[in-house]
């Protein structure tokens, strides 16, 4: 079966400017060290920011060592801290598993905690695109759903994704807004259906994915293994270390880190086992359809 190769993100993103913008010019460990360093950002009151961000109390900020790298920052209030910490862990899991998403971090600037997200310009909302027709749009969403299931992110509507084009006129789907992820729940909140491929959610907020369950059945397991192969390289020790770094301002850092590592490892096994049981190993007859779709997109 023919499909786009999403395992080489630098190759897929293509443009050096976009590679740097989305932080794929740095290895995982270097990026984690940068994003968990106090005052790596500084607020820039003169920076122009989008109107939607301004009315939500965001301000502009730049990286101290790279002023061309622009961010949106917002002072942490109430439950924002734990939600942002969970979102940050999810972002780094995305990064590790070769998933296109926009950086979101909890950071300290001049002794004040902020939620910070990379400012990505020249984007469109996914809600305005026909993402069930074009293969590269649908395929990115199919793979992204694996991440959201494992993170127990039960609110993934089209507004949680941005589209950015590269110089090859390819559509890059960027996942955003991971604040609803639940990494601390011990139970399996999203369960696979027994009779046919699908899922049952504990909560009823919007979608787990903008796609319908039948879209998944048009692809074989070798397609989904593009993403599962990276998840299966995650170890409990890596996740524990990630939690310890991200949760550095959290009083329950040790307890939360251990619980998150245990939960994610268990969910990876559960979701992969479910996909393997429901998705055919090979679907040779669909090769011509996918190839035709890619050809149309290239044209």
pLDDT number for residue 289: 43
pLDDT number for residue 9: 87
| Average of per-residue pLDDT across 195-219 | 85
79 against 235, higher pLDDT: 235
The answer on pLDDT for 206 being more than 80 is no
pLDDT number for residue 299: 36
Residue 101 CA to residue 156 CA, distance in Å, equals: 13
- Answer for the pair 188, 263: CB distance below 8 angstroms, yes or no: no
Q: What is the pLDDT of residues 123-182, one digit of tens each?
A: 998 988 889 888 889 999 999 999 999 999 988 889 999 999 999 988 999 999 998 999
3 against 120, higher pLDDT: 120
The pairing of strands 59-63 and 104-109 is unpaired
The answer on pLDDT for 294 being more than 60 is no
Q: What is the pLDDT of residues 216-240, one digit of tens each?
A: 999 999 999 999 999 999 999 999 9
pLDDT number for residue 212: 92
pLDDT number for residue 80: 93
Of the pLDDT bands very low, low, confident and very high (cuts 50, 70, 90), residue 295 is very low
The answer on pLDDT for 288 being more than 50 is no
Q: What is the pLDDT of residues 240-286, one digit of tens each?
A: 999 999 999 999 999 999 999 999 999 999 999 999 999 998 765 44
pLDDT number for residue 203: 65
The answer on pLDDT for 291 being more than 80 is no
The answer on pLDDT for 15 being more than 50 is yes
> Mean pLDDT across the chain, nearest whole number?
91
pLDDT number for residue 133: 85
The answer on pLDDT for 198 being more than 90 is yes
Buried b (16+ CB within 10 A) or exposed e, 95-115: bbbbbbbbbbbbbbbeeebbb
Q: What percent of the chain is predicted at pLDDT more than 90? A: 77
207 against 110, higher pLDDT: 110
pLDDT number for residue 217: 93
Of the pLDDT bands very low, low, confident and very high (cuts 50, 70, 90), residue 204 is low
């Amino acid at each position: 079966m023919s499909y786009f190769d999403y395992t080489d993100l630098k190759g897929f993103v293509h443009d050096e400017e976009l590679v740097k913008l989305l932080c794929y010019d740095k290895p995982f460990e270097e990026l984690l060290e940068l994003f968990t360093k106090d005052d790596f950002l500084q607020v820039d009151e003169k920076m122009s920011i989008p109107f939607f961000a301004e009315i939500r109390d965001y301000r502009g900020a730049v990286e101290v060592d790279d002023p061309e790298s622009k961010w949106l920052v917002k002072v942490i209030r109430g439950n924002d801290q734990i939600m942002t910490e969970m979102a940050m862990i999810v972002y780094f899991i995305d990064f590790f598993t070769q998933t296109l998403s926009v950086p979101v971090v909890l950071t300290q600037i001049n002794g004040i905690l902020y939620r910070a997200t990379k400012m990505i310009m020249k984007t469109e909302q996914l809600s305005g695109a026909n993402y069930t027709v074009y293969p590269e749009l649908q395929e990115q969403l199919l793979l992204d759903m694996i991440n959201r299931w494992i993170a127990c992110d039960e609110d993934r509507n089209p507004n949680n994704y941005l589209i950015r084009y590269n110089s090859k006129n390819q559509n890059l789907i960027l996942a955003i807004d991971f604040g609803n992820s639940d990494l601390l729940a011990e139970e399996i909140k999203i369960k696979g259906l027994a009779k046919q491929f699908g899922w049952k959610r504990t909560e009823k907020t919007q979608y787990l994915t903008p796609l319908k369950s039948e879209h998944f059945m048009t692809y074989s397991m070798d397609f989904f293994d593009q993403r599962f192969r990276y998840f299966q390289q995650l170890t409990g020790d890596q996740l524990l270390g990630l939690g310890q770094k991200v949760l550095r301002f959290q009083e329950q850092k040790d307890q939360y880190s251990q619980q998150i590592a245990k939960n994610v490892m268990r969910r990876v096994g559960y979701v992969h086992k479910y996909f393997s049981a429901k998705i055919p190993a090979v679907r040779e007859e669909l090769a011509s359809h996918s190839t035709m779709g890619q050809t149309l997109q290239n044209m």
